[in-house]
Amino acid sequence: MDCIFCKIANREIDTEVIFENAEILAFEDQNPQAPTHILVIPKKHISNIQEMAIEDQQQLLPEIFQAIQQIADEKDLGKGYRVVNNCKHNGGQTVPHLHFHLLGGRVMQWPPG
């Protein structure tokens, strides 16, 4: 499958890893929208939230949020941060491999566009 985030997860593309365990990988977004902009992905290919099996929801989502919490501590985001998931076309998703954006280091605006 020609999926850029699968290639990053498989280390076919050289990427600096921010966080890794058996199921999860985190790396810097190549087009950062904030001083800290990290993508947290499951290594397994899942297209988006709507494609998550119940077992994936139960196993992977807690791990993803534990990773986010740990990265936020390591990146000194104690003043706060934003977690974003863009789901499918109307959500603004451009890479069809499930990922959560962790944005921090500045005050975020609301509402998002």
State the Cα–Cα distance between residues 107 and 20, nearest whole angstrom: 27
Q: What angle do CA 73, 59, 28 make, to 5 degrees?
A: 40
| List 23, 29, 56, 63, residue binding ligand AMP (CB under 6 A) | 29
The span of 16-24, 57-65, 66-74, 89-97 binding ligand AMP (CB under 6 A) equals 89-97
Return the number of the residue (16 or 55) whose C-beta is nearest ligand AMP: 16
Return the number of the residue (55 or 105) whose C-beta is nearest ligand AMP: 105
Active site residue 37: no
State the Cα–Cα distance between residues 60 and 78, nearest whole angstrom: 24
State the Cα–Cα distance between residues 4 and 78, nearest whole angstrom: 31
Q: Given the rule CB under 6 A, which residues bind ligand AMP?
A: 4, 29-31, 39, 86, 92-95
- Which residues are tagged catalytic? 99
